[in-house]
Amino acid sequence: MIKKNMMQVVFVDWRVGRIIMFIMITGSVAFGFGSSILNTLLAGLAGGLLSAGGFYLDYLGDYKKDRASGKLSNPIAKGSISPRNMLVLLLIFLLTSGIISISVNIFILIPFSGVIIVILGLNQGSLNTPLLRALSLGALQGFYVIIGGLFANRTFGGALVSRTFYARGQTGQQLLLGAYSALMRQVGEGTVELYPRHEMVDLVLIDGKARGIITRNIVSGEYDAHLADAVILATGGYGTAYYLSTLAVNSNASAIWRAHKKGALFGNPCFVQIHPTCIPRSGDYQSKLTLMSESLRNDGRVWVPKKEGDKRQPGEIPEEERDYYLERRYPTFGNMVPRDVASRNAKAVCDEGRGVGDTGLAVYLDFADAINRLGRHTIEERYGNLFEMYQLITDEDAYQVPMRIFPAVHYTMGGIWVDYNLMSTIPGLHVLGEANFSDHGANRLGASALMQGLSDGYFVIPYTIGDYLAGAELKSATVEDDAFKEALAASKEKDQKLLSINGNKTVKEFHREIGSILWDYVGMGRDEKNLKHAISEIPKLREEFWQNVKVAGKADSMNKNLEYAGRVADYMELAELMAIDALDRNESCGGHFREESQTEEGEALRDDDNYTHVSAWEYNGQGKEWTLHKEPLIFENVTPTQRSYK
């Protein structure tokens, strides 16, 4: 009888359709807020419980009414099932409805609601509500339950929502491995030919178009000419001009700088990002600094002693004598303010004499509260590889004592000016990723460079370069043409000149000096006096470099000194343009902070009336002033406003 009436309930009673709809809605909403398999189960059971409860109350009403009137309209009442037996039936119904809810969520609602939410744009404008955001995220992640996993995401500086997908503390590394794997697959297929251990030393133009490059084999010292219909540069930024940065030591600006000297405009060279979460400098022997992921600020709290010159160990400083200055100044964003804001505040407290460590140029990043709240195991799961790296470098256990961090140069938003097709002002020369100026403006939020690399390389250039090639009039050429011979001769001549100087100072000494000028005068805080000082000092240092640098070895063999000297020679010129651009832009915006242009609370103050433009600089030859071209920035759908993270 129970089995028969259960079938009647599921397949006959009209109330079932209402109940099933209620289960699906309840399940999807609960899943949207929870976004996990566990919450899917809970959503199903909750949906079943609520539906069964409602059905039971409905049943009791019908049961009493039908018994009183003698009209048995309810199929269960027809079977004369008592309320006690009905509870047993409802337990079965609860489990059944839970399974239905879970199945509908995973295989129907979640994937299709994700599509619907994306199509309708429910994350935009007035529809941007917490419920719809939760449903959107739940729908997206729920879809991936089907294929065996969930995407993890978290907040980054400048955002209060978990907008960034990540792979533990090594997202960039994993993307690089994916890109390298894809590249090597094409190498294996024979569609790409690699030239490892070669560096570009010049760009070749024919009829004003980019038609090839000159390279030097850094193992043998041989020079090669490469003919092409178009050239793509994806050589990264110029942060190593500062000497100490988070970039790889071999990262350099030579490719884009030599393209600039051939006629490509350079956009916004003063826009440099200084990352707040780096291991502090420990001595003059260092050649680079180490980045600690910005994700650490999700759980770590930044603080310094309230008292100037307090040299006590962090564990000896009581809570009431600590200044959690980001949380104090920015109560809404707290430790997750953007990188430029966090960096300037770290510099400010250190300038006040409240910095920590031997040099006084560091602040604490403390995980004690997070470990107490979440447990060490959770912190290990999130950041274990970063804690291991920190201990290897500093010999300190960040589970026991706070990390010490300080800002360091990390990214350059400036670069070669490009149009929407990623082509520079030299026809045929396309520039991708950090090597160009686009996308980020004066600031860059966490993970946005990864976005730009994926966008430029995967979605844009495969189509736009084809458009260029389809319409370009390219005359027949060979590497024996005069343009290649002249570029090759100029490259060899420059190297021979560097080798012939035979001075008394090493290349590294000059690199340290130009880096020090940039850090001290074109760093986190800039003003007219110091920028003019930098502009006067850089040419003097450049002149000394060309008269007194010591480059040992020969050009026709592996010569790291020669390779390095060419890059530092480029920094000597680039550094001057960076300072000139910073002086010209008499406003604060993003990573460019002019001390003269700030609010009463010490925040960046833009001057939109005079500086809503891209500064694109044209090279006119050695010893001549650059020409500034201004590309107006027109905002049709949004109005720029003053940033606030309070």
Tell me the two tokens of residue 193: 């030919």
Full set of structural domains in the chain with CATH: 2-151 (no CATH), 195-271+413-632 (3.50.50.60), 274-411 (3.90.700.10)
Least Cα distance to 584 among 257, 268, 265 occurs for 268
Both tokens of residue 271? 């826009």
| pLDDT of 489 | 97
First vs last Cα of the chain: how many Å apart?
66
DSSP secondary structure string, 66-118?
Answer: HHHHS---SHHHHTT--HHHHHHHHHHHHHHHHHHHHHHIIIIIHHHHHHHHH
CA–CA separation, 395 and 398 (whole Å): 9
User: CB–CB of 26/43 below 8 Å?
Assistant: yes
User: pTM to 2 decimals?
Assistant: 0.78
CB 576 within 8 A of CB 529: no
Three-state secondary-structure class, residue 336? helix
CB 541 within 8 A of CB 576: no
Per-residue pLDDT, 472: 95
252 dihedral zone (left: phi>0; alpha: psi -120 to 50; beta):
beta
Q: What is the pLDDT of residue 48?
A: 55
Burial profile 565-604: b = 16 or more Cβ within 10 angstroms, e = fewer: bbbbbbbbbbbbbbbbbbbebebbbbbbbbeebbeeeebb
Give the position of tokens 């939020």.
445
| Helix, strand and coil in the chain, % to nearest 5 | 50, 15, 35
- Amino acid of residue 539: P
Those residues with Cβ within 8 angstroms of residue 194's Cβ, 6 or more apart along the chain or in another chain: 187
- With both helix axes pointing from N to C terminus, report the angle between 560-584 and 507-521 in degrees, rounded to the nearest 10: 20
The predicted structure's pLDDT at residue 433: 93
Q: What is the mean pLDDT of each run of 10 residues along the chain (646 residues)?
A: 36 43 49 48 56 57 55 46 62 62 55 42 39 42 45 79 78 84 93 95 97 97 96 96 95 97 98 96 88 91 97 96 97 93 96 95 97 95 92 96 97 96 98 94 82 87 95 95 97 96 97 97 96 98 98 94 97 98 96 94 93 97 95 91 86
Instruction: Look at residue 161 in the predicted model and tell me its pLDDT.
Output: 80
Q: Who's near 336: CB < 8 A, 6+ residues apart?
A: 155, 156, 157, 158, 159, 160, 297, 298
The residue among 59, 97, 94 whose CA lies nearest residue 80 is: 59
Contact, 347 vs 266, CB < 8 A? Answer: no
